């Protein structure tokens, strides 16, 4: 006995010191793909096989593997935390296919939410009674169930086919779900392994939304109609999602840790569960690094969703405005860029002489009455430019500081300096007034143009007692031009597959108003006040994806038999390529006309998408043949499609896509590119269409035949299109990338117009 005890004591001491010293093995989380077809007979399910395999792995430090998730739909396999030696053992076992390292993704929103809560109309489109009976899964930061936008007033009971659930966790339980919010789950196992403190104070270990992002995206897509809402007494209005009668299921995969992060294995688990639960559509406003599609959890997960007829929309990313900055470029995903809307938030500035009233840009949320307040302009250049630590708190106390524009103005630094010095407010002359990067709602900032800055300088010269009046909280609707491509919106070409144009489409993503957790102060105002709001303005492609999933929900509801590719085609071929001034849609980053590499097929137009006339449809096999043509190995194809030894005898880069990317190689003078596409009639009657080409010089396009005749609904017709590009004298991309034309099918004696961009791209 004694002996055993002392031995036990010794060995446990030994074990302790063993752990405390360097011999404890490094561990990591891995996503492990398995070949389900070689499952040994005794195991009733793959899950039993995987967990048994895991428990058979040994390690020197005696720490057992931790199983995270077994995947059912998105892939064959599981995720687990393992040491390197355990991974080595696992990789030698029969049935192991390939292992991917855990990786982190990010939300595609700006990290600082932009203020506000002017209760104006939300959603650009009048709400129909569509969306009924559709279930939309949103993978995001969770949900604030108390928001009026998720009220189920008047909604019928939960559809019978729904298999989802409402998980309990920190400050969340099943009573938070209702007939609107019909499911809510949280996936944090992998992030917890990375030691993220999810259980507060920074987030909730439950479907409850801490950050607000998921509440915002969800209400944009499917928020219930909320009438007569107001914010601190400001303009009353109606808040409404794009598909207000659709049901919502939240899958929380993004957690707050300075920024919003997501682990690949958690995201895969969220998509897997959404498929299992029975969602009809999904939206993901996050992205992982653009690797080949097999290494990207959203590409892998959404392939399985697409196969089951689930529409998947994703944000294109906020890494613009340069080329090749796209995320979520897999062709079975609908990839959405961000555009501005025709609404601006302003402040009116009137100078003391009453001569000029300037419309500045401001999103300051409080109606400060600034009337005849002293306007401060420093005596020397540093003070005039509001350079770091140039302002004297006593000098600027109670005054509005004017910060001049010059060729080294850094507006953010100016804002910081004015706030540091504690002035009453500031007028900032900047050429970035159109840029959405101008945001600060926590201080009375007004951005004005350099020209208006000169006006103010003139006024300052004329008087020694300059004063100013400022009226905040002016919302102007119908501003022009709109939409424009947001500076931050990620641009094509598609990094991993330039043969498919990405982004697909543009949707509102700048200063979008949607629901927000009321318990979360959106911004500190002044020293000790903070504003809580139930509606907030955010910008990012994160905000545009839910618009598109909402529109897709309406389309799917109206056309139950359309595939996800048909829904996307309907949106793309009817998208707007001109703005509200009848000009080509501008790219804010250049101030000149954008190209399809910026806006895809154009800005989504929901009312037209309902009735596109024709669609370019795509079958599952077509996507696999596309992967074959990308020269993916049979292992990569298995990882994405769960098909073993796919034949790849029909490899084809020419997907039946509603847009055309002509991929050039350097150092060729003339390139001839051929496409073969099939159109399907989705109108209720026979029709004849004629092709019209719009092409820039240097691009010659021939369509054969140029007239297509369709019989009854769902009949098909095929055409070929040859594009000859003359790049003589140019050996590089400059001047060619983004050059574009359009192929437009006009219905003869009918109203349908089916437009596709033809754009020149280069492989990255
Ligand atoms: C769920 O939470 C609510 C509010 O926190 C509480 O009133 C209710 O009792 C809880 N229900 C269950 C089933 O735990
Ligand atoms: C998490 O914390 C544990 C305990 O402090 C530590 O052993 C482990 O290495 C940490 N894991 C990571 C990924 O940092
Ligand atoms: C969480 O934030 C900490 C501090 O910024 C950082 O060191 C850590 O890498 C982050 N973890 C993840 C998983 O992003
Ligand atoms: C703004 O002004 C700076 C300095 O003159 C200049 O470098 C920059 O290109 C301008 N930006 C825009 C968008 O006009
Ligand atoms: C910026 O402006 C200063 C003074 O106006 C001038 O001396 C300087 O050359 C300018 N720099 C550039 C890069 O234009
Ligand atoms: C666009 O974004 C880039 C990169 O973030 C930035 O340098 C540039 O100033 C922005 N342009 C405008 C007009 O906001
Ligand atoms: C795939 O491989 C073939 C044969 O080597 C090659 O001709 C083709 O260009 C490759 N395709 C891509 C997309 O790299
Ligand atoms: C392409 O055109 C340039 C200029 O016209 C000429 O110098 C070059 O030899 C041509 N290259 C080929 C491959 O034909
Ligand atoms: C094509 O030219 C661009 C520069 O214009 C260069 O960056 C790229 O690497 C070239 N691509 C190939 C495949 O040579």
**Amino acid 228: pLDDT:** 59
Mean of pLDDT values over 7-36: 61
Mean of pLDDT values over 194-205: 81
758 torsion bin: left (phi>0), alpha (psi -120 to 50), beta (else): beta
Q: Which of 101, 102, 196 to mutate to test the pocket of ligand 3 (most atoms within 8 A of CB)?
A: 196
Which pLDDT band, with edges at 50, 70 and 90, does 274 fall under? Answer: very high
Q: Where are the alpha helices (DSSP H) in 143-239?
A: 189-193, 213-222
**Amino acid 531: pLDDT:** 56
For 613-618+655-762, CATH gives 2.60.40.2310
**Amino acid 361: pLDDT:** 87
Residues 6+ apart with CB under 8 A from 607: 125
Mean of pLDDT values over 200-206: 84
pLDDT > 80? residue 467: yes
**Amino acid 121: pLDDT:** 36
CB 46, CB 101: distance < 8 Å: no
pLDDT > 80? residue 645: yes
Mean of pLDDT values over 709-734: 84
Does the predicted TM-score (pTM) go above 0.85? yes
| Mean pLDDT score across all residues of the chain | 87
CA atoms 488, 576, 482, 759: torsion sign: positive
d(CA 309, CA 563): 6
pLDDT > 70? residue 116: no
Going by C-alpha positions, the residue among 309, 318, 312, 336 that lies closest to residue 259 is: 318
d(CA 580, CA 73): 44
Residues in the chain: 764
Query: Picking from 283-287, 353-357, 542-546, which range would have the lowest pLDDT averaged per residue?
Result: 353-357
Mean of pLDDT values over 12-39: 69
**Shortest-distance Cα residue to atom 11 of ligand 2:** 194
| Nearest ligand 8 atom to alpha carbon 669 | 1
Ligand nearest to the CA of 104: 3
Q: Which residue has the higher pLDDT, 165 or 526?
A: 165
| Nearest ligand 8 atom to alpha carbon 668 | 13
**Amino acid 323: pLDDT:** 94
pLDDT > 70? residue 9: no
Which pLDDT band, with edges at 50, 70 and 90, does 68 fall under? Answer: very high
Residues forming a β-bridge with 663: 761
Mean of pLDDT values over 464-478: 86
Q: Report residue 391 as tokens.
A: 């302002």
Report the b/e string of 647-676 with b at 16+ CB within 10 A: ebeeeebbbbbbbbbbbbeeeeeeeebebe
Q: Work out the number of other CB atoms within 10 angstroms of the CB of residue 393.
A: 10
pLDDT > 50? residue 574: yes
Catalytic residues: 140, 213, 542
d(CA 260, CA 253): 10
CB 516, CB 216: distance < 8 Å: yes
Query: Picking from 86-95, 375-384, 436-445, 692-701, which range would have the lowest pLDDT averaged per residue?
Result: 436-445
d(CA 117, CA 229): 10
CA atoms 217, 220, 225, 230: torsion sign: positive
Query: Hey, do 343-476 and 613-618+655-762 end up sharing a CATH topology, with the first three levels equal?
Result: no
**Shortest-distance Cα residue to atom 13 of ligand 2:** 194
**Shortest-distance Cα residue to atom 6 of ligand 2:** 195
**Shortest-distance Cα residue to atom 12 of ligand 5:** 407
> In the CATH hierarchy, which top-level class contains the domain 343-476?
alpha beta
Angle at 562 between CA 560 and CA 566, to 5 degrees: 150
Ligand 6 contacts (CB < 6 A) are 321, 432, 435, 437, 487, 588-589
Q: Of all residues in the chain, what percent carry a pLDDT higher than 70?
A: 87
Query: Picking from 315-319, 325-329, 460-464, 478-482, which range would have the lowest pLDDT averaged per residue?
Result: 478-482
pLDDT > 60? residue 113: no
Fold of 27-101: Alpha-Beta Plaits (3.30.70)
pLDDT > 60? residue 698: yes
3-state SS assignment for residue 256: strand
Residue ranges per structural domain of the chain: 27-101, 112-342+485-608, 343-476, 613-618+655-762
Q: Report residue 186 as tokens.
A: 């949280």
Q: Does domain 112-342+485-608 have CATH number 3.30.450.20?
A: no
**Amino acid 41: pLDDT:** 87
Residues 6+ apart with CB under 8 A from 631: none
Q: Which of 409, 412, 431 to mutate to test the pocket of ligand 4 (most atoms within 8 A of CB)?
A: 431
> In degrees to the nearest 10, what's the CA dihedral of 733, 736, 738, 744?
-140
For 70, the enclosing helix (H) or strand (E) is: strand 66-71
Q: Which residue has the higher pLDDT, 109 or 588?
A: 588
Query: Residue 389, class by beta-carbon neighbours within 10 Å (0-12 exposed, 13-18 middle, 19+ buried)?
Result: exposed
**Amino acid 734: pLDDT:** 66
3-state SS assignment for residue 297: helix
Q: Which residue has the higher pLDDT, 667 or 426?
A: 426
Q: Of all residues in the chain, what percent carry a pLDDT higher than 90?
A: 66
Mean of pLDDT values over 410-421: 88
pLDDT > 60? residue 436: no
Ligand nearest to the CA of 384: 5
Distance 206 CA to ligand 1 centre (A): 14
Which pLDDT band, with edges at 50, 70 and 90, does 105 fall under? Answer: confident
**Shortest-distance Cα residue to atom 7 of ligand 8:** 729
3-state SS assignment for residue 382: helix
**Amino acid 226: pLDDT:** 77
**Amino acid 86: pLDDT:** 96
Q: Which of 487, 490, 586 to mutate to test the pocket of ligand 6 (most atoms within 8 A of CB)?
A: 487
Q: How many CA atoms lie within 13 A of 135 on its CB side?
A: 25
Distance 277 CA to ligand 7 centre (A): 40
């Amino acid at each position: 006995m004694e002996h055993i005890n002392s031995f036990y004591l010794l060995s446990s001491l030994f074990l302790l010191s063993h752990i405390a010293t360097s011999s404890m093995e490094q561990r990591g989380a891995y996503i492990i793909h398995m070949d389900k077809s070689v499952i040994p007979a005794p195991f009733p399910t793959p899950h039993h096989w995987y967990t048994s395999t895991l428990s058979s792995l040994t390690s020197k430090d005696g720490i057992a593997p931790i199983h995270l998730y077994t995947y059912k739909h998105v892939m064959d396999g599981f995720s687990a935390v393992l040491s390197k030696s355990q991974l080595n053992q696992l990789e030698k076992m029969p049935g192991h296919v390939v292992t991917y390292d855990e990786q982190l993704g990010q939300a595609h929103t700006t990290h600082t939410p932009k203020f506000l809560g002017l209760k104006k109309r939300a959603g650009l489109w009048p709400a129909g009674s569509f969306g009924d009976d559709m279930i939309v899964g949103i993978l995001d930061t969770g949900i604030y169930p108390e928001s009026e936008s998720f009220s189920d007033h008047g909604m019928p009971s939960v559809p019978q086919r729904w298999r989802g659930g409402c998980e309990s966790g920190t400050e969340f339980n099943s009573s938070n779900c209702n007939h609107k919010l019909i499911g809510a789950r949280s996936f944090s196992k992998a992030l917890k392994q990375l030691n993220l403190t999810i259980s507060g104070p920074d987030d909730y270990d439950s479907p409850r939304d801490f950050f607000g992002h998921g509440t915002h995206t969800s209400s944009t897509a499917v928020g219930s109609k909320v009438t007569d809402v107001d914010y601190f007494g400001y303009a009353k209005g109606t808040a409404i999602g794009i598909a207000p009668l659709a049901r919502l299921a939240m899958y929380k995969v993004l957690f707050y840790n300075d920024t919003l992060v997501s682990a690949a294995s958690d995201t895969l688990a969220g998509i897997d569960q959404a498929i299992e639960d029975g969602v009809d559509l999904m939206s993901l406003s996050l992205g992982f690094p653009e690797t080949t599609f097999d290494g990207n959890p959203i590409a892998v997960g959404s392939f399985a969703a697409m196969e089951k007829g689930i529409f998947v929309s994703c944000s294109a990313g906020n890494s613009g405005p340069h080329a090749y900055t796209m995320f979520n470029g897999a062709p079975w995903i609908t990839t959405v860029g961000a555009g501005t809307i025709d609404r601006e938030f302003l402040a009116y500035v009137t100078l003391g002489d009453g001569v000029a009233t300037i419309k500045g840009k401001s999103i300051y949320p409080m109606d400060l009455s600034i009337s005849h307040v002293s306007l401060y302009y420093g005596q020397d250049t540093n003070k005039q430019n509001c350079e770091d630590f140039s302002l004297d708190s006593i000098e600027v106390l109670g005054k509005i500081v004017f910060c001049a524009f010059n060729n080294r103005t850094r507006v953010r630094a100016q804002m910081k300096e004015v706030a540091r010095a504690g002035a009453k407010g500031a007028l900032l002359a900047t050429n970035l007034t159109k840029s959405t990067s101008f945001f600060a709602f926590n201080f009375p900032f007004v951005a004005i143009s350099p020209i208006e800055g000169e006006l103010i300088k003139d006024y300052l010269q004329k008087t020694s007692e300059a004063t100013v009046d400022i009226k905040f909280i002016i919302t102007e609707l119908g501003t022009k031009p709109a939409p424009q491509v947001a500076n931050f919106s990620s641009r094509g070409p598609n990094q991993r597959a330039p043969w498919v144009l990405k982004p697909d489409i543009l949707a509102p993503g700048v200063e979008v108003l949607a629901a927000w957790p009321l318990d979360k102060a959106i911004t500190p105002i002044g020293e000790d006040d903070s504003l809580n709001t139930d509606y907030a303005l955010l910008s990012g492609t994160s905000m545009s994806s839910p618009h598109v999933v909402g529109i897709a929900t309406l389309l799917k509801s109206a056309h139950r038999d359309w595939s996800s590719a048909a829904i996307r085609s309907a949106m793309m071929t009817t998208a707007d390529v001109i703005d509200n001034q009848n000009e080509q849609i501008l790219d804010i980053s250049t101030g000149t006309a954008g190209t399809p590499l910026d806006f895809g097929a154009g800005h989504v137009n929901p009312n037209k998408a309902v009735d596109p006339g024709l669609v370019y449809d795509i079958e599952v096999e077509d996507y696999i043949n596309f992967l074959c043509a990308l020269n993916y190995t049979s292992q990569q194809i298995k990882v994405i499609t769960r098909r073993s030894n796919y034949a790849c005898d029909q490899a084809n880069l020419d997907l039946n896509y509603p847009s055309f990317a002509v991929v050039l190689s350097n150092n060729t003078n003339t390139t001839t590119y051929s496409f073969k596409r099939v159109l399907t009639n989705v109108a209720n009657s026979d029709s004849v269409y004629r092709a019209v080409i719009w092409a820039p010089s240097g691009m010659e396009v021939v369509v054969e035949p140029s007239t297509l005749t369709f019989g009854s609904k769902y009949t098909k017709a095929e055409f070929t299109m040859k594009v000859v590009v003359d790049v003589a004298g140019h050996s590089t991309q400059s001047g060619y990338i983004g050059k574009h034309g359009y192929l437009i099918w006009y219905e003869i004696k009918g109203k349908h117009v089916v437009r596709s961009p033809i754009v020149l791209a280069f492989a990255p």
